[in-house]
Amino acid sequence: MGIFDWLSQSAKKLKDVENKISTDSQDILEVYQRNVVLEKEIAQRTEELRLANQTLLTLEQVWDMMNSSRPLSSVLETIVSSLYGEFGYIYSFIAQKQYSESGTYYALKTYLENDFAQQLTALNGSGIFDFKLYPPETGVIKYAIQNKEVGYFISLKEFIEENIKDANEEKIEEIVKNNIVKTIIIIPITVKNQFYGFLSVFSPRKELKDDELSFLNLFSRQIELAITIANLFETVKKQAVTDHLTNLFNRRFFEDALQREATRSLRTKQPFCLIGLDLDHLKRINDTYGHSMGDKAISAIATVISNTARSVDIPSRYGGEEFFIILPGIDARGGLIAAERIRSSIESHKIEGLDEGITASLGVSCFIEQTSNIDELFEMCDKAMYSSKQKGRNQVTLADCENLTSWQDIAIDAFVDILTKHRIPFNKDLAQELITKLEIKQQDENGISSQETLYNIVDTISRSYFPLYQDGSTKGKVQLATLIAKRLNLSSSDLDKLKISMLLYDIGNTMMPKEIMKKAAPLNNTEREEINKHPLVAAREILKPISSVSNIIPIIEQHHENWDGTGYPNQKKGNEIPLISQIILIVDSYFAMISYRPYRKAYTVEEAITEINSNVNKKYSPELVEAFGYAIEEFKKM
């Protein structure tokens, strides 16, 4: 092959290679271009999935919060925070419609606490809680609300100038200049078909994508559901701590609040006052005008208390016609002034259909200033209140803390004596453990209740001779006995005797043979005689050597005497029996009936009440049974 032929062939081969390279390059370019498009689609789908996942996570978080017991403010705060953190919005808040004498406005229900919030509230020199929006009737917000549509502000300056009154011009320029807000989105919120307010979202983007708008609409529906659920929870919570007749706090809330306030007071060294109030002559009102008028009188007291109380005060209906008000930060002098203001307002309050006016007897005690123990504080206030009744009613009495010996202290001393000197057959190690608890409680100055310790110790002793004894019965017995005593207008000193007696009246049973206490079959005459001795055993063998309780010995001796003279040990009858002994008998009978015994099943509450009513003029006086009927209804609410 000549040189020219070789060159010709080589040129042809080179051309073929160039053609092939050109063809392959085109194929490669097409593949590359397809890959670029595919990568963009993958990136777009990935971003969509990421946003969808964020949406689901955020909505899931909202749903979890709605199913929790968190308060509404906490739920909404987390909602707006999630918008800020998850979706890159600059700011968001939820505004609620409010009313004033000058017209309607929108206040921030919840908000993000960041630099932008401070700049926004600085526009009119207010704090975040005082920040208000006044949208005009033809503005974006009003349009969105009226048409239930999403509204838009295309600039931050437009939003400020249209909705914020008296905004400082220099501040406007400053916030607009230094901010990247491009769009403000307004989404109306309705709860139970009623307009509630709106969600406001500050976005750094000019355009709102369809999927973003769909999410915000869905998000607003979640807010509406969260508000509905939270409001329902708050309603249920309020019902749990509120007295249904008066709308004041109930006894349970009061007792918890008293403990919290005592703890706070000791920490801050600031006093607080307790006012006790008892409506005068409620029984006479009920007997003359009917119980509905009695309820009106009780409601009138609550109205006066609500109208005279400060926002920080804690007024409660303790039970029946009895009320207590906690006054944080108030000393004894201030407490007397507040109590007199309440007394005067009650006296001047008129009730339609009630010819006579209503009055109340009040007592005042002061924490830290008079005592640092909440049991003593309550007892002092209670005694002062009953002192007002005994002195003629319709007056205020300040508690007397001089020479004050509470019934709890007397009871603690008695049990320490009984356990220390082994006056009853009781496990020595357990006795020493109980003695230690009692002595610590007696020295306690931290406002902690000593009553619960006493109740627990009596329960422990009772279980030692009767294993079926129900824990908590001692507390219930004292509470029911106290309600009956107050209904019968016992003096404060007799009320103290009753409480001590309720703790000690059954202690003679510790001396009874255990086989008798546990026997399932009916007792024989000899065993019955042993049981009938237990009041005398308690009084004469266990309690007589203890001088501090000598005044309750006759009460305990006679707590099994019946109104018709058929009781034991001395067959006394009628008014020969101390009233306190009669109260112990009816309370003891009631708790015995509703408790299981080896020889019978427990009565229901209604069966026990029926049995007690059937023994009027037999075991119990008519007056006692009437007072029991009133007290048991109050007791069932505790």
Structural domain of residue 191, as residue ranges? 72-240
Q: Strand 396-398 relative to strand 91-100: parallel, antiparallel, unpaired?
A: unpaired
Is pLDDT of 262 > 50? Answer: yes
Contact indicator for 273, 340 with CB cutoff of 8 Å: no
- If asked whether residues 554 and 424 sit together in one domain, one would say yes
pTM of the model: 0.60
Per the structure, how many domains does the chain have? Answer: 4
Same domain? 89 vs 146: yes
487 shares its domain with 608 = yes
> What secondary structure letter does DSSP report for 539?
I
Q: How far apart are CA 497 and CA 567, in angstroms?
A: 22
DSSP-H helix ranges across 539-578: 553-557
CA distances from 537 to 525, 530, 534, 631 (A): 18, 10, 5, 30
Contacts of 581 (CB under 8 A, 6+ apart): 555, 556, 558, 559, 561
73: its two tokens: 């403010």
Same domain as 580, residue 441: yes
Predicted local confidence at residue 34, as pLDDT: 64
Which of 375, 398, 421 is the last residue in one of the domains? 398
pLDDT tens-place string over residues 13-37 = 666 656 665 666 566 566 556 666 6
Query: Which tens digits make up the pLDDT trace of 288-344?
Result: 999 899 999 999 999 999 999 988 899 999 988 999 999 999 999 999 999 999 999
CATH number of the structural domain spanning residue 289: 3.30.70.270
pLDDT, one tens digit per residue, over 399-451 is 987 655 678 888 888 988 888 888 888 888 888 888 888 877 555 544 445 78
Are 378 and 420 within one domain?
no
Between CA 533 and CA 583 the distance in angstroms is 20
- Decide if pLDDT at 105 tops 50: yes
Residues 261 and 295 in one domain: yes
Q: Please choose, from the candidates 505, 521, 515, the residue with its C-alpha nearest in 3D space to the C-alpha of residue 589.
A: 505
pLDDT for the residue numbered 334? 93
Q: What is the CATH number of the domain that holds 429?
A: 1.10.3210.10
pLDDT digits (tens, 9 = 90+) for 611-627: 999 999 999 999 999 99
In-domain check, residue 245: no
Give residue 637's pLDDT. Answer: 78
Q: Is residue 84 part of a domain?
A: yes
Q: Quick check: 174 and 152 in contact, CB under 8 A?
A: no
Q: Are residues 567 and 439 in the same domain?
A: yes
Task: Give bridge partners of residue 276 from the DSSP assignment.
Answer: 324, 363
Residue 382: is its pLDDT beyond 60? yes
Taking each helix axis as running N to C, give the angle between helix 156-163 and helix 169-177, from 0 to 180 degrees, rounded to the nearest 10. Answer: 160
User: 246 in a domain, yes or no?
Assistant: no
In a domain, 96, yes or no: yes
Overall average pLDDT of the 116-125 stretch:
74
* CB-CB contact of 373 with 447 (8 Å): yes
Residues 6+ apart with CB under 8 A from 511: 424, 425, 534, 537, 541, 542
Q: Dihedrals φ, ψ of 242, to 5°?
A: -115, 140
Q: Please check the confidence at residue 598 and state whether its pLDDT lies above 70.
A: yes
What's the full length of the chain, in residues?
A: 638
What is the CATH number for 129?
3.30.450.40
H or E segment to which residue 285 belongs: helix 282-289
378 and 475 assigned to the same domain = no
Residue-level pLDDT at 323: 96
Same domain (yes/no): 517, 473 = yes
Q: Are residues 351 and 435 in the same domain?
A: no
Q: What is the distance between the alpha carbons of residues 175 and 186, in angstroms, rounded to a whole number?
A: 20
388 and 428, same domain (yes or no): no
Where is the domain boundary, 185, 219, 240?
240
Can you say whether the dihedral through the CA atoms of 568, 574, 579, 584 is positive or negative?
Answer: positive
Q: With 80 as the cut, is the pLDDT of residue 86 above it? A: no
Domain boundary among 373, 398, 423: 398
Please report whether residue 355 resides in a domain. Answer: yes
Tens-digit pLDDT profile for residues 512-571: 766 666 666 667 777 777 767 767 777 778 888 888 888 999 998 899 999 999 998 889
Residues 471 and 605 in one domain: yes
Task: Give a yes or no: residue 158 inside a domain.
Answer: yes
> Which residues neighbour 192 within 8 Å (Cβ) at sequence distance 6 or greater?
228
543 and 552 Cβ atoms separated by less than 8 Å: yes
**What distance, in Å, lies between the first and last C-alpha atoms of the chain?**
122
Question: What would the mean pLDDT of 264-275 be, rounded to a whole number?
Answer: 92
